[in-house]
Amino acid sequence: MEKLVSNEEILGKALELVKEIKNDKEYREYITLRDKVKSNKEIMERIDNIKTLQKQYIKSAYLDDEIKVKLDKELRELEGISLYKEYVLKEKKINNILISIKEGINSSFDNILNK
């Protein structure tokens, strides 16, 4: 069977796609927000505290109401920070874009394989 395209061409196109994604305005904004979140001491401390509380709550077999109340309070306070809120919204948008790209690629492969 004759190859439609070479492996090098496929790799080249994949690298082009990655480059396009990385140069996209939405993606660049997301990276900037991610970096701001990671360098924000208050946000990172809250995230660490939430992770600790989540582990404790799981260990309690989801029965310790006191931990649940603390966890819910920490989550509300984290979600109340505008930078974090903006970051989460941008992350969801980027994830949806990446899912659409993946679905488009999968659909293209399905069309090729099922002809």
pLDDT digits (tens, 9 = 90+) for 2-33: 667 788 998 999 999 999 999 999 999 999 99
What single-letter DSSP state applies at residue 81? S
Residue 102 CB-density burial (10 A; 0-12 exposed, 13-18 middle, 19+ buried) = exposed
Q: What is the rounded distance in angstroms from the CA atom of residue 50 to the CA atom of residue 99?
A: 28
- State pLDDT tens for residues 75-94: 999 999 999 999 999 999 99
Using the predicted structure, report yes or no on whether residue 115 has a pLDDT greater than 80.
no
pTM > 0.85: no
Domains of the chain are 7-107 (1.20.1500.10)
Pairwise CA distance, residues 35 & 12, whole Å: 29
Interval 48-69: pLDDT, tens: 999 999 999 999 999 999 999 9
pLDDT at 108 over 90: no
Compute how many other C-beta atoms are within 10 angstroms of the C-beta atom of residue 94: 19
Q: What is the pLDDT of residue 5?
A: 75
